[in-house]
Amino acid sequence: MKTTQESIKQAIAKGKTSLGIELGSTRIKAVLIDENFETIASGSYEWENLLEDGFWTYNLLDIITGLQSAYREMKQEVERSYGITIRTVGSIGVSAMMHGYMAFDKTGELLVPFRTWRNATTSAAAKELTEHFQFNIPERWSIAHLYQAIINQEKHLPRIDYMTTLAGYIHWLLTGSKALGIGDASGMFPIDERTQNYSEGMMKQFNELISDKGYPWQLSDILPAVHTSGEQAGTLTAIGASILDQSKNLQPGIPFCPPEGDAGTGMVATNSVRKRTGNVSVGTSVFAMIVLDKKLLNVYPEIDLVTTPNGSPVAMVHANNCSSDLNAWLGLFREFSEAMGQKVESDKLFQVMLNKALEADPDGGGLLSYGYFSGENITGVESGRPLFVRSAKSNFNLANFMRTHLFTAFGALKIGMDLLVKEENV
């Protein structure tokens, strides 16, 4: 055990480590691993999105605070466990929630609050661009947010100097490099598999579409540069090091891989990057990623075409809602349990309640739930109104209640999956 401790300490001292930073929908995480991909230490920061002025957003101060808190917690765990202070790491990578809209001016000022993937406010733009390109443009995509802002004649548009995703923003903050991994970039604007870059044809179409607006930028001027996995996409600057590590121990010059979206990290983590493989990511949202070995025959608003981190085409079925409403109900059951004097751990609560679903009637007893905490693009619902209903004849018990809420968590996802299976033989 002493040898292991010493070898890890030496790895930390020599920078034979990698640091992963992930900004998820409920937690920001910093994880330090060794060359064998084993976790050395980790830190996290819990946060939650806010609905402000009709938009789902995260406060910019929370983004920075969470980043610093997660790193500090990880750093302190290293100091406690190994008696050494981190001064360098071998490489750093950032991943975060994909899509959304972060637009900045020349000074680096965020022009409007961060608009996340969760917003269903761009239906008009998404529909018009899909028809214009003959390529599905989902409501979540950055280009849909930009075009909706143009439709709405928002005042900040002439000032845009740079537009990116959350991962791209953190990467830029720490490295000064306006870069993005191809997987995350494919959620900003369509990618051409041949060139491994944004589609030049569609980019030209977009510029022509808005040419009468007189903006002082072309689309290529404001999008981040596209990188594929394995490429270096920048190094930690002195400013970036001081932002990440407030104790000022971390030294600049550390190489960064391209920042990626959470879909990319899910594909890598589940070994589902090769063609004819797939995975499902379950959380606040839910999405399936199927790596294609052939082009789809048709355009479907329920199916996004994105890429793996190395540029292979992916059919993505993404539903905005999954665990939020279920978590809210389980929070209510926890509150009831505590009111009865029985404190229950979250793991135990989930274990008992999810297993109850196995005892349910096949149809959930005639209960019905729409767990739409936010709008749902696949079913065309603009804003969230979680709803649970039953008739007088429904078999209303705990098992059926849980089965129904599990079904609704995956209901919208199944619509897209059925299209892939039945219409495209994927």
The pLDDT tens digits for 156-197 are: 999 999 999 999 999 999 999 999 999 999 999 999 989 999
What are the structural domains of the chain?
2-319 (3.30.420.40), 324-423 (3.30.420.40)
- Which pLDDT value is given to residue 3? 46
d(CA 388, CA 366): 11
d(CA 234, CA 217): 25
- Which pLDDT value is given to residue 256? 98
Nearest to 176 by CA among 250, 129, 234: 234
- Which pLDDT value is given to residue 245? 97
Judge whether 171 and 259 are in contact, CB under 8 Å.
yes
Residue 237 is which amino acid? T
Q: Helix %, strand %, coil % for the chain, to 5?
A: 40, 20, 40
- Which pLDDT value is given to residue 246? 96
Mean pLDDT value across residues 46-55: 88
Model confidence at 2, in pLDDT bands (50, 70, 90)? very low
d(CA 408, CA 286): 11
- Which pLDDT value is given to residue 14? 94
Tokens describing residue 73: 């917690």
Nearest to 188 by CA among 117, 106, 248: 117
**What beta strand segments (E) does 112-198 contain?**
162-164, 179-181, 191-192, 197-198
- Which pLDDT value is given to residue 377? 84
Mean pLDDT value across residues 311-339: 94
160: Cα separation from own chain's centroid: 23
Which of 192-196, 224-228, 233-237 shows the lowest mean pLDDT across its residues? 192-196
| Residue corresponding to tokens 């002493």 | 2
- Which pLDDT value is given to residue 294? 92
Q: Is the dihedral of CA 66, 71, 76, 81 positive or negative?
A: positive
Please state, in angstroms and as integers, the Cα–Cα distance from residue 351 to each residue in 115, 339, 346, 347, 406, following that order.
34, 20, 8, 6, 13
Nearest to 34 by CA among 52, 51, 19: 19
| Residue corresponding to tokens 């000032």 | 159
Provide the mean pLDDT of the chain.
Answer: 94
Model confidence at 260, in pLDDT bands (50, 70, 90)? very high
- Which pLDDT value is given to residue 1? 40
